Chain A
Amino acid sequence: MAATTKTTGIGAALRRKEDLRLITGRGEFTDDFREAGQLYIYFLRSPHAHARIIKIDATEALALPGVKSVLTGKELLADGIKPLPHHVWALHPADIAMPNVDGSETFMAPHHAIAVDKARHVGEIVAMVVATSVALAKDAAELIHVEYDILPSVTNTWDTVKQDAAVVWDENGSNVCGDVETGSREDTNAAFAKAAHVARIETWVQRVTGVPMEPRAALAVFDEGTGRVTLTAGSGGSVRLKYDLAHMLGMKSEDVRIIMKDVGGNFGTRGMIYAEFCLVGWAARRLKTPVKWTAERSESFQSDYQARDLAVTAELALDKDGKFLAMRGSNIGNAGAHTSNFSPLQKGVEIMTSIYNIPTACFRARPVVSNTLPTRPYRSAGRPEVMFVMERLIDIAAREFGFDRVELRRKNLLHKEDLPFKNPFGMIYDNGDYHAVMEQVLELGDWTGFEARRAEAKARGKLRGIGVANYVDTATGVPRERAEITVRPDGQVDVIIGTISQGQGHETSFAQLATEFLHVPEDKVNIITGDTDVVKVGGGTHSGRGMRLASIVIWKASNEIIAKGKRIAALMAKADPAQVTFEKGHFHAAGQSLSLFDVARAASERNDLPDDLRAPLYAMSDETVNEAAFPYGAHVCEVEIDPALGTVEIARYSTVDDVGRAVNPMIIHGQTHGGIAQGVGQALMEEIVYDRQSGQLMTGSFMDYTMPRADNFPFFDAGFAEIPCTTHPLGIRPAGEGGTTPALGVTMNAVVDALRDFGVTHMDMPATPEKVWRAIHRKA
Chain B
Amino acid sequence: MPQVTMQVNGRSVSGEVEARTLLVQFLREHLELTGTHVGCDTTQCGCCTVHVDGVGIKSCTMLALACEGANITTIEGLAKGDVLHPMQSAFSEHHGLQCGFCTPGMIMSAIDMVNRKGHALDETTVRKELEGNICRCTGYHNIVKAVQAGAAAMKGA
Contact = CB atoms under 8 A, between A and B. Distances in A.
B44 A212 contact: no
Contacts of A503: 98-100, 137
Contact of A19 (B20, B79, B91, B128): B91
B39 A711 contact: no
A29 interface: yes
A295 to B, nearest CB: 10
B128 A711 contact: yes
B99 A214 contact: yes
Categorize the interface residue count of chain A.
35 or more
Given A25-B74, A213-B135, A673 B141 contact: yes
B45 A677 contact: no
A528 B131 CA distance: 36
B117 interface: no
Given A15-B95, A16-B95, A24-B76, A265 B38 contact: no
B97 A710 contact: no
B88 A24 contact: yes
A587 interface: no
A504 B45 contact: no
SS of A interface (majority):
loop
Interface in B104-157: 104, 107, 123-124, 126-128, 130-131, 133-145
A172 interface: no
Contact of B141 (A32, A709, A715): A715
Interface in A301-357: none
Contacts of B101: 27, 29, 212-214, 262, 264-265
Interface stretch (A89-97, A566-574, A700-708): A700-708
A360 to B, nearest CB: 38
A674 B137 contact: yes
Contacts of A264: 37, 99-101
SS of B interface (majority):
loop
A158 interface: no
Categorize the interface residue count of chain B.
35 or more
A3 interface: no
A263 interface: yes
B139 A713 contact: yes
Interface string A733-771: 000000100000000000000000000000000000000
A710 B126 contact: yes
Given A265-B99, A670-B98, A23 B88 contact: yes
Nearest to B143: A710
A195 B111 CA distance: 62
Contacts of A674: 98, 136-139
Interface of A: 15-16, 18-20, 22-27, 29, 31-32, 135, 210-215, 262-265, 267, 296-298, 502-505, 666-667, 669-670, 672-678, 701-703, 707-711, 713, 715-716, 739
Interface of B: 18, 20, 28, 33-42, 44-45, 47, 74-76, 78-79, 84, 88, 91-93, 95, 97-104, 107, 123-124, 126-128, 130-131, 133-145
Given A23-B91, A713-B140, 11 more contacts: A23-B75, A23-B107, A25-B33, A213-B134, A263-B99, A673-B140, A673-B141, A709-B131, A710-B128, A713-B127, A715-B145
